[in-house]
Amino acid sequence: MSAFVDIPLEPAGVPHGRAMVERAEWAARAFATYDIASVRRIAMAAAQAGEAHARQLADAAVAETGFGVAEHKFLKNVACSIGIWNTYADDDYVSPVIDQARKIVEIPRPAGVVFALTPSTNPVATVMFKIMLCLLTRNAIIVSPHPYAKRCSAEAARVMRDAAIAAGAPDGCIQVLEEPSIPLINALMTDERVDVIVATGGTPMVRSAYRSGNPAIGVGPGNVPVLVDATADIPAAAARIVASKSFDNSILCTNESVLIAEEAIAERLQQAMKREGASFLDEEQVARVCGVIFEQGHFNTAWVGKSAAQIAEAAGIKVPKGTLILVAPFDLVVPEQVLAHEKLCPVLGWVTVPNAARGISAAMAVLRITGAGHSAAIHSEDPGTIMEYASRVRVLRVAVNVGNSLGSAGIETNLAPTMTIGTGFFGRSSVGENLQPAHLVNRTRIACNADARMPMPDFSGLDAWQAPQGAVPAYPLASNAAGAPAIEPRTNGRGDAATMAGDGTDELRDEIRRMVIEELRQIIKG
C-alpha cells in the first residue's frame, strides 16, 4: 500500500492564484496596522500615478477592447484616480472615533482580502476605482479583469501597485490576475481567505459572486428612463441628454436608455436635440438599426461602445456628419419592444406621452423590464413632479437636470463618485448606494455602561494603529517567483478538495464559464 495520499491536481494557474491569495492575506494583516498618515500617503501616491498614466491607459483600453472613446475614458480614469483621492482625502477610515454622548468608541476594521471582478466596458477606470477604495481602507486587493481587457487592466494595477509600494504599502496589497480563466476565477471566488468579492459586470457574474459562499457586493444592470416634462429648460435638457448618451459611446450603465417626452414639448425637444448632434430615425431606419444591434430579441454585445456612425453604416442608413446619437421612436413600453431594453451604445429609445403622469407610468414600465434599483433621470422645474417621479420609479438614485451617465455615477452630482452602482433590494443587490470606501470597512464598537453614574474611561489620545517602523516589509517569497510553493486548496469549510464536487462549486464554475463564453462570442461576432 502506498504511503502517499493522492491529492487532486488543480487546473493550470490555480496553484499560482492560491499563492496570490496567501500573499494578499499576509499583506492585509500588515496593512491593517497602519495609521491614517501612512494610509493617506500611500493612497495619494497611487492616485497620482493613476492620473499620470490616465491618457496612456485610456488609449490602451480602446485599442484592446474596441469599446468607447479614448478621450472620455481618459476623463473617467482621472476621476477614478486623483478624483477619488480628492473626494476622500479628508475622510478617515482608520482612526478610532470617540462618541462621548453615547459612550461608544468605534475602531475601523478593514475587510482584509478583496477579490475584485472588473468589466471590459470600463476596465481601467474600474480597476483604479476599486484599488483606491481598498487603499483608503487598508484592504489588500486581487483584481480579476475581464479576459477581453486583461492587458490594460493589468497595466493599470501595476502602475498603482508600484506607486503604493514605493510610498510604504506592504508588498502584495495590490495584485492582478494576468491570465484570468474560469478555473482560476472559480478557485479564488470560493477561497475561504477571500474576505469579500466586489463584482462589477453582467448579471450572471454578479449572481455567481453571491453564490460563491463568500461575502459579496454586486450590482445589477441599468436601463435608465429619462423624463422631460413641459416645465423643463428644453435647450439645456437636449444638450445634457445628447452629451450623456454619447459619452464614451454609451458604455456606462448609467447612460439614458429611453427618453420619455411630454407631448407639449416633444417637437421643440426633438429640434433642440438635432442641433446637439442627435439623428432621429424614421420607421424603416429604426427597423434596420434594430436588426443590427439586436439579435433574436437581445442586445448584441458586438455593438457595445461603438459609435453612432458605425451603427448607421452597418444598418445601411445615412445620417448627418457629426451625428453623436441615434434616436429611435417607438409607441409602447412593453417587454417585446427591444428598444425598451438596455442599450450600451448610442441608440436612444423615444416615447411620447400626453402628460407627466403618463410619463411616470412609462418610466415605471421601462424599469419593470430591467434596471430595477439602478437609476433614472428627469428634466423638470416642477418639484411636485420630481418628487412623484422619484417616489414611484423603482430606483435608488434619480438625477435631476443633469446627464445621467455622469450624474448617477456621482461625477456631476454630489452622490459618491463610483464605477459600481448598488441597486439594493429592488435590484437584488447587497448595497443600495454608490460603492464607496465605507462599504469595505466594519467597525469594532467599544460600548460602555450607559448608566450616567458610570464614567466612561478616557480614550482621548489613544490610537489602535501606528506608522510602520523601518523598511517596508517584503513578502518572504513573491508568489510569481520561480519555485514559489503551491498553496493547499481551501474548501470554505465544506469538505476536502476530493469531495467538493457536490457542494455547488461545479455549478458555479459552469455558470461563470457560460457567462464569459457567451459574452466573448457576442463580442467576436462583430
**What domains appear along the chain, each with residue ranges and CATH number?**
20-219+436-451 (3.40.605.10), 224-407 (3.40.309.10)
**CA 9 distance to own-chain centroid:** 34
Low-confidence ranges of the chain (pLDDT < 70): 1-10, 12, 470-473, 476-526
In this prediction, residue 489 carries a pLDDT of: 42
**H/E element, 516:** helix 505-525
In this prediction, residue 517 carries a pLDDT of: 56
Name the grid cell of 306.
Answer: 461603438
- Cα–Cα distance list, 116 to 145, 162, 207 (Å): 8, 18, 14
In this prediction, residue 249 carries a pLDDT of: 97
By the 8 A CB rule, do 311 and 289 touch? yes
Close Cβ partners of 134 (under 8 Å, ≥ 6 residues apart): 114, 116, 140, 141, 173, 174, 440
d(CA 289, CA 465): 59
In this prediction, residue 487 carries a pLDDT of: 39
Close Cβ partners of 381 (under 8 Å, ≥ 6 residues apart): 231, 232, 233
d(CA 229, CA 265): 7
d(CA 392, CA 333): 17
d(CA 287, CA 328): 9
In this prediction, residue 519 carries a pLDDT of: 55
Catalytic sites, residue numbers:
253
In this prediction, residue 515 carries a pLDDT of: 60
The angle that helices 14-31 and 182-189 make with each other, rounded to 10 degrees, is 40
Name the grid cell of 204.
Answer: 450572471
- 447 in helix, strand or coil? strand
Name the grid cell of 502.
Answer: 457536490
